Amino acid sequence: MEADFVIVGAGSAGCALAYRLSENPANRVILIEYGGSDAGPLIQMPGALSFPMNMARYDWGFATEPEPHLGNRVLATPRGKVIGGSSSVNGMVFVRGHAEDFNHWAESGASGWSYADVLPYFKRMETWHGGSAHDDAPYRGRSGPLHVTRGPRRNPLYHAFVTAGSEAGYPLTDDYNGAQQEGFGAFEQTVWRGRRWSAANAYLRPALKRPNLTLVRGLAQRVTFDGSRATGVEIARRGRVEVIRARREVVLAASSINTPKLLMLSGIGPAAHLAEHGIDVRADRPGVGQNLQDHLEVYFQMRSLKPVTLYSYWNLPGKALVGAQWLFARRGVGASNNFESTAFIRSAAGVSYPDIQYHFLPLAVRYDGRTAVRGHGFQAHVGPMRSASRGAVTLRDARPETPPVIRFNYMSEASDWVEFRTCLRLTREIFAQPAFDAYRGEEILPGADATSDDALDDFIRAHAESAYHPCGTAKMGAADDPMAVVDPACRVIGVEGLRVADSSIFPRITNGNLNAPSIMVGEKAADHILGGDMLPPENLAPWRHPDWQNNQR
What is the fold of 152-186+296-384+412-463? Cholesterol Oxidase; domain 2 (3.30.410)
147, 469, 528, 545: the catalytic one is: 469
If you average pLDDT over residues 320-325, what whole number do you get?
95
- CA 81 vs. chain centroid, Å, equals 15
d(CA 544, CA 171): 11
The answer to whether 503 and 515 have CB atoms below 8 angstroms apart is no
- What pLDDT, on a 0 to 100 scale, did the predictor assign at position 137? 82
d(CA 411, CA 315): 37
Query: Residue 498, Cβ neighbours under 10 Å: how many?
Result: 27
Tell me the pairing of strands 126-128 and 146-150: parallel
Strand partners, 236: 219, 241
Q: Is the peptide bond before 286 cis (omega within 30 degrees of 0)?
A: no
Q: What percent of the chain has pLDDT over 70?
A: 98
d(CA 202, CA 188): 16
Q: How far apart are the first and last CA of the chain?
A: 58
pLDDT band at 365 (very low <50, low <70, confident <90, very high): confident
If you average pLDDT over residues 21-39, what whole number do you get?
97
d(CA 504, CA 498): 14
Question: Which of 404, 298, 390, 367 lies closest to 54 in space, CA to CA?
Answer: 367
d(CA 224, CA 244): 9
- What pLDDT, on a 0 to 100 scale, did the predictor assign at position 225? 98
If you average pLDDT over residues 506-530, what whole number do you get?
98
- What pLDDT, on a 0 to 100 scale, did the predictor assign at position 372? 57
135 or 463, higher pLDDT: 463
The answer to whether 431 and 305 have CB atoms below 8 angstroms apart is no
pLDDT digits (tens, 9 = 90+) for 262-317: 999 999 999 999 999 999 999 999 999 999 999 999 999 999 999 999 999 988 99
**Beta-carbon contacts of residue 371 (< 8 Å; ≥ 6 apart):** 311, 314, 363, 364, 365
Binding-site residue positions: 82, 90-93
Burial of 307 (0-12, 13-18, 19+ CB in 10 A): exposed
| Residue 367 confidence (pLDDT) above 90 | no
| Residue 134 confidence (pLDDT) above 70 | no
Does the annotation count 469 as an active-site position?
Answer: yes
Average model confidence (pLDDT) across the chain: 96
If you average pLDDT over residues 190-204, what whole number do you get?
98
Positive or negative, the CA dihedral 306, 307, 310, 314 is positive
Amino acid at 433: Q
Indicate the pTM of the whole model: 0.98
Half-sphere exposure in the Cβ direction for 469 (13 Å, CA): 31
CATH architecture classification, 1-147+192-293+470-533: 3-Layer(bba) Sandwich (3.50)
Q: Which helix (H) or strand (E) holds 45?
A: none
Binding-site residue positions for FAD: 82, 90-93
pLDDT band at 54 (very low <50, low <70, confident <90, very high): confident
The answer to whether 526 and 317 have CB atoms below 8 angstroms apart is no
Q: How many residues does the chain have?
A: 553
- What pLDDT, on a 0 to 100 scale, did the predictor assign at position 130? 83
If you average pLDDT over residues 80-93, what whole number do you get?
98
Tell me the pairing of strands 283-284 and 268-269: parallel
Domain segments of the chain: what residues?
Answer: 1-147+192-293+470-533, 152-186+296-384+412-463
